[in-house]
């Protein structure tokens, strides 16, 4: 105990797993509390002290920086290697350089890294300091009041007082709140990103205090868990001085980092402080992953090491032989040892070996790692800065959380996606519902939703006109293309609503979560509205009668209950805009609720008289178990007398219940405060899940508005009934296992205890009260159920999320029985969750079905387009969702994951064996599948169905329709078993898309793991919710969507995107760039070092393998670091092999990264061979030029260095695809730097640099014409072959990427002519004429058209093709227009497509947007003569068709080759001829 | 606090608290650099685009090559191997080193006169002056006249650092192995006149100016060189100490140009070093007229033991230095190859373009 006695904290370790005990820090001499206190004292001393609230995220202190940082840096093997080499250099026998000099590069690298670390640490320190010095009110014992203290001075056990909008400094147990209900609202945005307000409650026992909480009187002891990082869990109990014990849970805890909202002031006791707070425990810094490229690179580094050793060994042997040869011969140049003896050949060889390793160390690029890191940081910077990845709605851009796997983005093969919130917006819109077996289709609502879309498309029409053509022309072609791109991204907001709407929504979302007008303004179904108002009226009339609901027909009462359930069966909080929440003078019940104790219950339901304890046996059983586990609190209550009383009370008839003053009070209050309509509009609902909000808004549309929610009551406003206040007895929250939630309320009209349950249909339908088919009512019920089920199926097919609403009326006895168990569960300390779960299960049975709702989860913007693009890019997309199969399939169709002409294999197995059999069957089917295979079906619970939903003509593709696999969670569990996983994978590999429904988070991660480990594929997982976290963590690249579901996914992810559609650009553009840049840079690094080392190695043949170097040691050491590093960095950061537009237009270019085309072993070795060749050239040309001359070693070596530098730069020049001024500057800088350094170095000191002593060497060289002559010829000679082969390959066997570049260039060039024409207004007429004549255009136009067509064909699918928007069947794949020789392909209808395609290729996007329904392929079909121009080699098959139509089949081979290049859909020749026939028939 | 501007926002619906609005957003700047839209030159390497480069290289290189070749061919050079391994060689007798000093004479004829300044080199083959330990074995400070280094040479000089407890000046293996043959050239004016005319060989002006004046300096001090080098001893292999290398003081000691030239270690095992300069006397007579000469060699330097060769070379120079046929040939060869490749590319380009062009043209 401190002498000052101000603060004290204790913790102890309990035998059963560890807990923490917190006591008030104000009472130093608190007497021991019986045995408990004694135990405390016993263990108190040996436990480590709890952390104070000081935040310290820095890694180093002033003293520890150097050793600690060095220690960390030496974790990198390369650093150790280089230091060892440098140290080796200190041994005189083997040293190659001046020892100090050899250390320089290593020290330089270490210093740079250390500086970076230091800077980072310093900024951390500064932010820590700022946070630590935030102020906060802490209760001081001396002053007996709250005083200002810094955050860092807060200790566990302190009392803090927080005000509205204040940030919580530590994890605080809420003890008092200014809110009359003992509530406090917090915003957890800092913690998990969720913007809705969370409710926190004062610890039970403190909420009753009337006067203000006085910390001095606090004598309780708090026992709670040890600090952990689980944000959603907190368990503990508070032991009052009188020995009473009350449970604590997460509702009582205010977490550090959250903000107090809506509450004036709260007081709490600090439980966890500083680094023990949950917020900080959750904060694990950026993740370190190693990318695939880096792994491959490390492998190649090992090759280099091997090469180095080989070279050194070779030299060593050579030197040994050389020494032996000259040893006896008394060669004048042979230098004996210091003692005059000559070295034995073996010793000489060993020395030579070591020296060679030092001299050739350059082969292992010391700067490689540093350069790669720099490049990656720059790449991340550029990704962050990309405007096209910026989401205006949420004002967020893409975040790169992992800095070192950018290039993995370019190599992804499999994408695993969550559905809800990832593919869909997670903005729930109420679409339709069924009540009591009657379906209300809400057509008006559907129209309203459609209107939102129309409004958007109208705006779209306007957008293109904004950019003025003349301006665009002046900007230049490149800019023009960019602008078009911007416009496209502007337009693609169509789903969310117009831009203005989106803005509005985003603004609103600052106050409330999940509320855009689209979700809020629901147009009610008139029929249903009528019925609702009917029962409202009926109830209003009969409200004072005994059984108000009995007067209604069962249907109407169901409807009434349905809406009541919609309104109150949730956790939606109502807020009004003014903050903090107004303290209303309102009628309060005597007691707080939900019912917390039996006494509560008894007091509420007094007077009571009855006999039996409990009627149902089930309840008895629970009673027993309760007694067993019984807490001390309950045990003294469970005496018979209490229950006697209870039963007495429950036995009373209803009327007397009604007279307990409750409903009348509520009523009077309701009439007092009739809210004006304007204010009602101000109500905002804050829901934990968007579904809930959607339902509450839907109910409001039916005039059943939730107006207030307090912990103990819910108020509902009805037009005629006025405000109804339901007493909220319990809320059984939603969990993913039960898949439902319930509220227990007391109905104000009937005074019955009702349970309203809302949950997944599959669960709720099983919990319904079994109804006998005997009586009419039962039969009626059954009919209703079957009808509801069929509607549910219908909803699912429509892709709606379904929820069932059910009700249960509890008798008082049943309730009492259940309540006892429940209370016990609530107050239990150990496995409270488990007991509560059981308790909920007991309550939610024998339900009465009210109805079901269908909520639409709208697809996000651009999801189908993105998916089709990603597909084209060769990515396999698997969707893993927890949704039901039908919903999932439907969404999959909507987002084009499944095509309608695809065969879907559905795997639903009930058992392991069934699953195995099914898999076997499917595999056989897949293998035997040919064009003639027919779908087959098996029956029984082993149901495998192949649904050729829209079977395409078998001749359209060689392999028949592609396959898709749909598997449900249970089957997936079987399929993931060890013995089946291979088969499953094999099957899945055959399928174009895989859909896993009803899968758990664990299964999701298992699937990812399976694919990753078995297929050795690069995987990407994308998701938005906590259930995706495991999957995101397992995948090579995890992407989180910073959407509506909080930040857990983002926290776990490597990249966070605002929307799914940004994935397209992230992968296809940035991923490709990052990969290609890094791959090229790494290759270049290896080339550079090998070539440089080669020079030294060849020299060994002419210096007796003595490990001599003709290149001055300074150049040798700094060459990599200084002279040649900048240009490659610039290229590594800025080079774009293909422009972003081309990449987006031709996603298949992405495949080059997947196949690792740029950096594969072959490329590496070719590179090495080229390096060897170049070094031979660079060595032997100077050798020959200076052969038998009076040149000295370094006057000869310096030109070689210069030559090497020039060769490197030229080589880089050949490899650089885009030359910006930065590249030029970097290259110029390199040369200048070399010259400057050389000149300065060679004139600085005449005797300082032994042994080379290069005084005036460079100056002399600059006066020597031979120097210039060899500097000219050598690099050219060295690079001629490379240039030649590049050109040859570029012409004869161009890769996809080169084709893309050529295409882009051609299109850009041809842009000029037609645009001028267009400006003159000639083109349209010409085009028309052309069309009417059947097409004879001038070359220039056709060329441009051709480009346009090409690009459109490369698109293959129209970019905007929303399933709802386009009524006609989407003509997306190449086969469609060919198949149907329809009248739609007539010249007339093709004019829009043709006209636009003729406009100018730069405006392709606009074309494809404005004519998204004009099916570009059809228009193409009618213009066969335009298609075979220019960029023939990159034409897709369909464009090749054009020439086929006109000409003999001799050009067929060209087309075949083209299709090979495309590699997307190889089609057989017979197809072509068939199509040709069709087409010629048409022409 | 945020409170004061909240109500207004509620009314006009503008963005809260930030009047500019845009200032608060995280929207990235739309600059060419950040959006990676810097104007760029994007060359595409195909036959068509690259072939001009090849032609240009060819067109530039071939003339340069011819120029160099012609220049190089105009250089007169004669090389006389006097190692004496062949029994017929006059210097063969000197291989067995019982005769000291051994003098041998080699006759040779200049077919054509040497115009301009003529350089006399000695050439050594198979002499590894670039051996790592050999290269290091010197003390630049000592050669620079540093008095401390003079008496205490660098460790690098081992084992030629001290001899009998006296520091060696100049120390190290390089100096120790200095070339010490003496070459003299005589012109036999005509067969009738038996008295040969000695050719004047300049001993100075053969080293780099900076070497002679900056890098190499005699130890400071008054008095004769001998006094200044007091306390040092000659290298083991040398017959006489460093201050007796030459008679003239400005070419003696460390600044003796033969020493300086020797100390500049050759890059390759076959090398030549400038030995003497034969300056043009007047414009009328060639420096070395065609005719009979004989070379008088004081044969000291043993290369036979390690299969080395010794040569004497007389050469004129051009603007690009000594005779060097390689560069010219290289330029011509590379130029021709480049031209050839250009032609190949042209053909390919033509063919390739043809195949695509036919499709184009036939489309109309």
Q: What is the pTM of this model?
A: 0.73
The partner residue sitting opposite A1290, judged by closest CB among B16, B46, B338, is B46
Contact B43/A at CB under 8 A: yes
What band does A1034 get if pLDDT is binned at 50, 70 and 90? confident
Given CB atoms, is A1446 within the 8 Å cutoff of chain B? yes
d(CA A1167, CA A1161): 10
Whether the CB of A1256 is below 8 Å from some CB of chain B: the reply is yes
- Percentages of chain A per state (helix, strand, coil), in multiples of 5: 55, 15, 35
- Domain locations along chain B: 49-75+321-347, 80-316
Chain A positions touching B362 (Cβ under 8 A) are 1443, 1446-1447
Distance from CA of B346 to the nearest CA of A (A): 11
A171, A391, A408, A418: the catalytic one is A418
Reported as a pLDDT band with limits 50, 70 and 90, residue A983 is confident
Give chain A positions within 8 Å (CB) of B68.
1269
Is the CB of residue A943 less than 8 Å from the CB of residue A908?
Answer: yes
| Contacts with B, A 1342-1371, CB within 8 Å | 1342
Which position has the higher pLDDT, A81 or A662?
A: A81
**Cβ A385–B29 below 8 Å, yes or no?**
yes
A418 is catalytic: yes
Q: Any chain A CB within 8 A of the CB of B133?
A: yes
- Comparing CB atoms, the residue among A478, A1106, A1247 nearest residue B140 is A1247
Of residues A582 and A25, more confidence is placed in: A25
Q: What is the pLDDT of residue A549?
A: 65
C-alpha–C-alpha distance, residues A681 and A634, integer Å: 46
Question: Which pLDDT value is given to residue A615?
Answer: 35
Q: What is the pLDDT of residue A1390?
A: 36
Is A758 one of the annotated binding-site residues?
yes
Q: Which of B1, B25, B306 faces A329 most closely, judged by CB atoms?
A: B306
- List CB contacts (< 8 A) between B4 and chain A: none
pLDDT of residue B207: 92
Average pLDDT over residues A1257-1268: 92
- Give how far A1387 is from chain B: nearest CA, Å: 19
Under an 8 A CB cutoff, do B215 and A1292 touch?
no
pLDDT reading at A1353 higher than 50? no
Contact (CB<8Å) A336/B159:
yes
Is A983 marked as binding a ligand? no
Question: A751 among the known binding-site residues?
Answer: no
Strands (E), A436-492: 438-440
The whole-number pLDDT of residue A1086 equals 92
Backbone angles phi, psi at A1409, to 5 degrees: -75, -50
Task: Identify the top-confidence range among A567-581, A641-655, A1236-1250.
Answer: A1236-1250
Cβ distance of B305 and A1187 shorter than 8 Å: no
Q: Does B51 touch chain A (CB under 8 A)?
A: yes
pLDDT tens digits, B25-79:
778 888 888 888 888 888 888 888 888 999 999 999 999 999 999 999 999 899 9
pLDDT at A194: 57
CB contact under 8 A, B130 and A1108: yes
Q: A1319 touching B, CB under 8 A?
A: no
Contacts of A1260 in chain B (CB under 8 A): 208, 210
Question: How is A1430-1451 classified by DSSP, letter by letter?
Answer: S-GGG--HHHHHHHHHHS-GGG
Q: Is A97 annotated as a binding residue?
A: no
Quote the minimal CA–CA distance from A329 to chain B in Å: 5
Q: What is the mean pLDDT of residues A1306-1332?
A: 47
Complete DSSP assignment for B139-158: -HHHHTT-HHHHHS--GGGT
**Bridge partner list, A272:** A171
Chain B residue with the nearest C-alpha to that of A1265: B320
Q: Are strands A963-967 and A903-908 parallel, antiparallel or unpaired?
A: parallel
Query: CA-based diameter of chain B, in Å?
Result: 125
Range of weakest confidence among A592-606, A681-695, A1255-1269: A592-606
Q: How far apart are CA A1060 and CA A1066, in angstroms?
A: 10
Q: Is A335 on the interface with B (CB under 8 A)?
A: yes
Mean pLDDT of all residues in A429-458: 72
Does A879 score more than 60 pLDDT? Answer: yes
Query: Which positions of chain B have pLDDT values less than 50?
Result: 1-23, 357-364
Task: Give yes or no for B354 touching A (CB within 8 A).
Answer: no
| Residue A883 among known ligand-binding residues | yes
Indicate the residue of A387, A507, A1185 with minimum beta-carbon distance to B28: A387
Closest CA to A354 of A113, A161, A89: A89
| Per-residue model confidence as pLDDT tens digits over A839-872 | 888 888 888 888 888 888 778 878 888 888 898 8
The pLDDT of A294-320, averaged and rounded, is 91
For residue B305, the distance in angstroms to the closest alpha carbon of chain A comes to 5
Q: Is A1273 near chain B, with CB under 8 Å?
A: yes
CB contact under 8 A, B302 and A332: yes
Q: What is the predicted pLDDT for the residue at A244?
A: 78
Model confidence at A1315: pLDDT above 70:
no
Alpha-carbon gap, residue A574 to A709, rounded angstroms:
6
* 3-state percent breakdown (helix, strand, coil) of chain B, nearest 5: 40, 20, 45
Between A1362 and A144, residue with greater pLDDT: A144
What residues of chain A lie within 8 A of the CB of B303, using their CB? 332
Beta sheet of B309-316, edge-to-edge order: B77-81, B309-316, B118-125, B271-278
List B residues 96-115 in contact with A (Cβ-Cβ < 8 A): none
- Does residue A200 have a pLDDT over 50? yes
**Higher confidence at residue B260 or residue A933?**
B260
* C-alpha R_g of chain B: 35
Encoding tokens for residue A1089?
């070092």
| Partners of residue A338 in chain B, C-beta under 8 Å | 158-159
**Best mean pLDDT range from A23-32, A1152-1161, A1350-1359, B334-343:** B334-343
Residues on chain B touching A259 (C-beta within 8 angstroms): none
Burial-class residue A1 by CB neighbours within 10 Å (0-12, 13-18, 19+): exposed
Longest dimension (CA), chain A: 130
Per-residue burial over A716-754, b if 16 or more Cβ lie within 10 Å, else e, is bbbeebbbbbbbbbbbbebeeebebbbbbbbbbbbbbbb
| Interface residue B255 vs chain A (CB under 8 A) | no
Higher pLDDT residue, A84 or B7?
A84
B350 at interface of A, judged by CB pairs closer than 8 A: no
Contact A804, A884 (CB under 8 A): no
* Chain A: closest CA distance from residue B189 (Å): 30
Q: CB of A1283 within 8 Å of any CB in chain B? A: yes
User: Is A1274 part of any known ligand binding site?
Assistant: no
Mean confidence (pLDDT) of chain A: 71
Across the interface, whether the CB atoms of A1103 and B131 are under 8 A apart is answered: yes
Task: Verify whether the Cβ–Cβ distance A1264 to B321 is below 8 Å.
Answer: yes
Indicate whether A366 pLDDT > 50: yes
- Mean predicted lDDT score pLDDT of chain B: 84
Residue of A nearest to B122 (CA): A1190
Say what the pLDDT of residue A50 is.
Answer: 60
- Please give the pLDDT value at position A1224: 94
Among the partner residues B131, B301, B327, nearest to A1266 by beta-carbon distance: B327
pLDDT at A473: 37
* Residue A190 pLDDT greater than 70, yes or no: no
Q: Does A395 touch chain B (CB under 8 A)?
A: yes
The 10s digit of each residue's pLDDT in A120-176 is 888 888 888 888 888 888 888 788 888 888 888 888 888 888 888 888 888 888 888
Q: What average pLDDT does the segment A524-531 reach?
A: 82
Q: How close is the nearest chain B Cα to the Cα of A515, in Å?
A: 16
pLDDT in the model for residue A310? 94
Higher pLDDT among residues A1209 and B223, named by residue: A1209
Query: Once rounded to an integer, what is the mean pLDDT over residues A1064-1085?
Result: 91
| Residues pairing with B124 in the sheet | B271, B310
Closest CA to B115 of B72, B79, B80, B76: B76
Contact B15 A507 (CB under 8 A): yes
A454 is in an annotated binding site: no
| Cα of B59 to nearest chain A Cα, Å | 13
B173 vs A329, A335, A1217: nearest CB: A335
- What is the mean pLDDT of the segment spanning A998-1018? 86
pLDDT at A584 over 90: no
Q: Which residues of A touch B143 (CB under 8 A)?
A: 1247
Distance CA A79, CA A82 (A): 5
Cβ B177 vs Cβ B141: under 8 Å = no
Nearest-CA neighbor of A1216 among A1158, A1104, A1136?
A1136
């Amino acid at each position: 105990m401190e002498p000052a006695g101000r603060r004290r904290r204790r913790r102890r370790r309990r035998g059963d797993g560890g807990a923490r005990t917190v006591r008030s820090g104000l009472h130093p001499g608190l007497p021991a509390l019986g045995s408990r206190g004694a135990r405390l004292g016993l263990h108190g001393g040996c436990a480590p002290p709890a952390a104070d609230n000081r935040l310290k995220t820095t890694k180093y202190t002033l003293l520890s920086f150097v050793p600690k940082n060095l220690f960390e840096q030496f974790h990198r093997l390369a650093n150790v290697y280089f230091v060892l080499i440098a140290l080796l250099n200190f041994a005189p026998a083997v040293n190659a350089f001046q020892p100090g000099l050899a250390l320089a590069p290593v020290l330089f690298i270490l210093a740079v890294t250390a500086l970076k670390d230091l800077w980072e640490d310093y900024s951390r320190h500064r932010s820590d300091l700022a946070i630590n010095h935030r102020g906060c009110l802490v209760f001081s014992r001396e002053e007996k009041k709250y005083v200002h203290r810094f955050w860092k001075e807060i200790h566990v056990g302190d009392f803090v007082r927080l005000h509205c909008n204040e940030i919580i400094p530590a994890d605080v147990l809420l003890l008092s709140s200014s809110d009359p209900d003992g509530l406090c609202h917090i915003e957890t945005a800092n913690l998990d990103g969720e913007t809705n307000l969370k409710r926190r409650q004062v610890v039970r026992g403190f909420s009753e205090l009337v006067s203000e909480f006085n910390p001095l009187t606090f004598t309780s002891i708090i026992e709670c868990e040890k600090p952990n990082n689980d944000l959603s869990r907190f368990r503990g109990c508070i032991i009052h001085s009188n020995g009473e014990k009350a449970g604590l849970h997460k509702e009582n805890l205010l977490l550090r980092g959250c903000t107090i909202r809506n509450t004036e002031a709260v007081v709490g006791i600090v439980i966890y402080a500083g680094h023990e707070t949950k917020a900080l425990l959750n904060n694990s810094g950026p993740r370190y992953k190693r990318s695939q490229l880096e792994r491959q690179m490390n492998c190649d580094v090992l090759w280099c090491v091997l090469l180095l050793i080989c070279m050194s060994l070779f030299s060593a042997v050579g030197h040994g032989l050389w020494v032996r040869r000259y040893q006896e011969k008394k060669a004048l140049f042979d230098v004996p040892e210091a003692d005059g003896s000559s070295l034995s050949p073996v010793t000489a060889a060993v020395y030579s070996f070591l020296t060679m390793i030092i001299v050739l160390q350059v082969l292992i690029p010391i700067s490689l790692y540093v350069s790669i890191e720099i490049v990656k940081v720059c790449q991340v910077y550029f990704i962050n800065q990309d405007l096209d990845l910026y989401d205006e709605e949420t004002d967020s851009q893409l975040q790169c959380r992992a800095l070192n796997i950018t290039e993995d983005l370019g190599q992804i093969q499999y994408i695993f996606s969550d559905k809800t919130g990832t593919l869909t917006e997670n903005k729930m819109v109420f679409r339709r519902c069924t009540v009591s077996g009657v379906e209300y289709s809400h057509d008006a609502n559907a129209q309203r939703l459609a209107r939102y879309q129309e409004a958007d498309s109208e705006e779209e029409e306007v957008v293109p006109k904004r950019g003025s053509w003349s301006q665009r022309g002046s900007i230049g072609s490149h800019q023009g293309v960019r602008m078009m791109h911007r416009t496209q991204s502007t337009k693609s907001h169509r789903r969310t609503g117009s831009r203005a709407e989106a803005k509005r929504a985003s603004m609103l979302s600052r106050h409330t979560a999940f509320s855009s007008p689209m979700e809020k303004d629901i147009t009610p179904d008139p029929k249903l509205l009528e019925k609702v108002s009917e029962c409202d009226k009926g109830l209003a009339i009969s409200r004072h009668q005994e059984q108000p609901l009995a007067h209604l027909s069962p249907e109407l009462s169901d409807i009434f209950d349905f809406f009541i359930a919609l309104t109150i069966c949730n956790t939606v909080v109502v807020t009004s805009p003014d903050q903090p929440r107004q303290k209303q003078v309102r009628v309060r019940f005597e007691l707080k609720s939900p019912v917390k104790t039996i006494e509560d219950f008894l007091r509420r339901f007094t007077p009571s008289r009855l006999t039996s304890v409990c009627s149902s046996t089930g309840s008895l059983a629970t009673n027993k178990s309760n007694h067993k586990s019984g807490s001390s609190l309950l045990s003294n209550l469970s005496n018979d007398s209490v229950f006697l009383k209870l039963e007495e009370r429950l036995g009373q008839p209803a009327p007397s219940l009604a007279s307990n003053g409750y409903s009348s009070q509520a009523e009077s209050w309701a009439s007092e405060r009739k809210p004006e309509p304007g204010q009602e509009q101000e109500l905002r609902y804050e829901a934990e899940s968007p579904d809930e909000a959607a339902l509450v808004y839907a109910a409001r549309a039916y005039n059943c508005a939730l107006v207030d929610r307090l912990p103990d009551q819910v108020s509902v406003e009805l037009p005629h009934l006025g405000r109804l206040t339901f007493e909220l007895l319990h809320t059984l929250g939603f969990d993913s296992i039960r898949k439902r939630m319930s509220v227990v309320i007391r109905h104000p009209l009937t005074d019955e205890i009702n349970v309203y349950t809302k949950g997944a249909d599959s669960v709720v339908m099983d919990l319904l009260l079994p109804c006998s088919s005997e009586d009419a009512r039962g039969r009626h019920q059954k009919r209703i159920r079957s009808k509801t089920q069929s509607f549910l199926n219908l909803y699912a097919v429509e892709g709606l999320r379904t929820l069932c609403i059910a009700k249960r009326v509890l008798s008082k006895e049943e309730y009492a029985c259940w309540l006892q168990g429940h209370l016990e569960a609530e107050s239990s300390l150990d496995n409270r969750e488990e007991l509560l779960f059981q308790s909920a299960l007991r309550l939610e049975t024998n339900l009465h079905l009210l109805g079901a709702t269908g909520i639409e989860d709208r697809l996000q913007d651009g999801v189908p387009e993105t998916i089709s693009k990603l597909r084209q890019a060769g990515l396999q997309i698997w969707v893993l969702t927890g949704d039901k199969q039908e919903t999932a399939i439907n969404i999959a169709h909507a987002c084009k994951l499944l095509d309608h002409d695809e065969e879907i294999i559905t795997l639903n197995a009930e058992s392991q064996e069934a699953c195995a059999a099914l898999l076997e069957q499917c595999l056989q089917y897949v293998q035997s599948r040919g064009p003639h295979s027919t779908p087959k079906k098996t029956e029984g619970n082993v149901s495998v169905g192949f649904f050729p939903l829209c079977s395409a003509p078998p001749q359209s593709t060689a392999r028949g329709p592609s396959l898709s696999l749909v598997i449900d969670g249970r089957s997936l569990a079987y399929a993931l078993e060890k013995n089946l996983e291979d088969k499953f994978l094999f099957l899945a590999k055959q399928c174009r898309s895989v859909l896993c429904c009803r899968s758990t988070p664990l299964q999701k991660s298992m699937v990812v793991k399976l694919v990753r480990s078995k297929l050795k594929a690069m995987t990407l997982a994308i998701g938005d919710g906590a259930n995706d976290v495991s999957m995101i963590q397992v995948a090579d690249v995890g992407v989180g969507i910073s959407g509506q579901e909080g930040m857990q996914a983002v926290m776990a992810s490597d990249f966070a995107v605002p929307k799914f559609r940004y994935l397209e650009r992230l992968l296809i553009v940035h991923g490709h760039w990052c990969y290609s840049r890094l791959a090229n840079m790494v290759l270049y690094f290896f080339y550079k070092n090998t070539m440089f080392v080669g020079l030294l190695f060849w020299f060994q043949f002419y210096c007796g393998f003595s490990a001599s170097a003709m290149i001055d040691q300074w150049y040798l050491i700094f060459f990599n670091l200084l002279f040649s590093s900048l240009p490659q960095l610039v290229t590594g950061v800025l080079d774009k092999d293909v422009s972003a537009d081309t990449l987006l237009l031709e996603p298949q270019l992405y495949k080059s990264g997947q196949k690792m085309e740029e950096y594969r072993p072959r490329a590496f070795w070719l590179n090495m061979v080229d390096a060897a060749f170049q070094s031979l050239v660079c060595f032997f040309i100077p050798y020959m030029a200076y052969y038998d001359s009076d040149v000295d070693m370094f006057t000869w070596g310096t030109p070689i260095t210069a030559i090497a530098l020039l060769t490197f730069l030229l080589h880089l020049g050949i490899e650089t695809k885009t030359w910006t001024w930065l590249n030029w500057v970097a290259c110029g800088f390199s040369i200048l730097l070399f010259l400057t350094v050389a000149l300065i170095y060679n004139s600085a000191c005449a005797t300082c640099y032994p042994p080379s002593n290069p005084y005036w060497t460079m100056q002399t060289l600059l006066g020597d014409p031979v120097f210039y002559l060899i500097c000219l010829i050598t690099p050219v000679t060295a690079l001629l072959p490379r240039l030649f082969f590049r050109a040859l390959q570029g012409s004869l066997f161009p890769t996809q990427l080169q084709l893309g570049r050529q295409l882009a260039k051609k299109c850009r060039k041809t842009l000029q002519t037609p645009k001028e024409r267009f400006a003159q207004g000639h083109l349209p007429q010409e085009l028309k004429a052309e069309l009417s004549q059947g097409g004879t255009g001038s070359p220039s136009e056709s060329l441009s058209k051709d480009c346009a067509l090409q690009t459109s064909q490369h698109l293959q699918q129209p970019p905007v093709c929303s399933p709802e928007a386009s009524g006609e069947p989407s003509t997306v794949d190449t086969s469609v227009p060919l198949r149907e020789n329809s009248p739609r392909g007539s010249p007339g209808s093709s004019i829009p497509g043709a006209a636009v395609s003729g406009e100018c290729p730069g405006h392709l996007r606009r074309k494809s947007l404005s004519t998204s329904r004009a099916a570009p392929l059809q228009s193409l079909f009618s213009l066969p003569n335009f298609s075979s121009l220019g960029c023939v080699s990159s034409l897709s098959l369909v464009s090749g068709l054009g020439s086929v139509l006109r000409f003999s089949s001799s050009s067929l081979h060209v087309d075949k080759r083209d299709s090979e290049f495309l590699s997307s859909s190889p089609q057989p020749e017979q197809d072509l001829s068939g199509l040709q026939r069709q087409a010629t028939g048409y022409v | 606090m945020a409170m004061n501007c909240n109500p207004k926002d509620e009314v006009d619906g503008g963005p809260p608290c930030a009047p500019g609005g845009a200032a608060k957003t995280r929207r990235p700047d739309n600059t060419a650099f950040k959006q990676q839209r810097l104007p760029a030159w994007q060359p595409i390497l195909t036959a068509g685009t690259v072939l001009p480069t090849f032609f240009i290289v060819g067109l530039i290189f071939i003339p340069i090559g011819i120029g160099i070749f012609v220049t190089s061919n105009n250089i007169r050079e004669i090389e006389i191997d006097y190692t004496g391994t062949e029994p017929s060689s006059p210097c063969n007798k000197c291989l067995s080193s019982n005769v000291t000093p051994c003098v041998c004479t080699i006759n040779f004829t200049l077919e054509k006169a040497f115009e301009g300044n003529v350089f006399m080199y000695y050439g050594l083959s198979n002499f590894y002056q670039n051996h790592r330990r050999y290269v290091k074995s010197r003390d630049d400070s000592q050669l620079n006249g540093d008095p401390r280094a003079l008496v205490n040479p660098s460790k690098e000089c081992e084992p030629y650092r001290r001899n009998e407890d006296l520091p060696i000046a100049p120390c190290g293996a390089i100096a120790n192995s200095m070339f010490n043959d003496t070459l003299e050239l005589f012109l036999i004016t005509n067969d009738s006149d038996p008295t040969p005319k000695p050719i004047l060989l300049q001993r100075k002006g053969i080293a780099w100016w900076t070497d002679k004046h900056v890098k190499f300096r005699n130890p400071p001090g008054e008095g004769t060189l001998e006094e200044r080098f007091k306390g040092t001893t000659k290298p083991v292999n040398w017959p006489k100490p460093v201050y007796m290398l030459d008679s003239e003081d400005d070419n003696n000691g460390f600044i003796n140009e033969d020493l300086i030239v020797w100390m500049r270690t050759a890059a390759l095992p076959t090398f030549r070093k400038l030995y003497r300069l034969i300056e043009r006397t007047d414009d009328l007579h060639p420096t070395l007229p065609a005719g009979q000469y004989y070379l008088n060699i004081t044969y000291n330097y043993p290369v036979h033991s390690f299969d080395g060769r010794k040569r004497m070379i007389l050469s004129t120079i051009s603007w690009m230095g000594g005779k060097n046929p390689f560069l010219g040939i290289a330029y011509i060869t590379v130029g021709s190859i480049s031209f050839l490749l250009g032609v190949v590319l042209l053909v390919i380009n033509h063919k390739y373009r043809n195949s695509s062009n036919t499709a184009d043209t036939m489309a109309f």
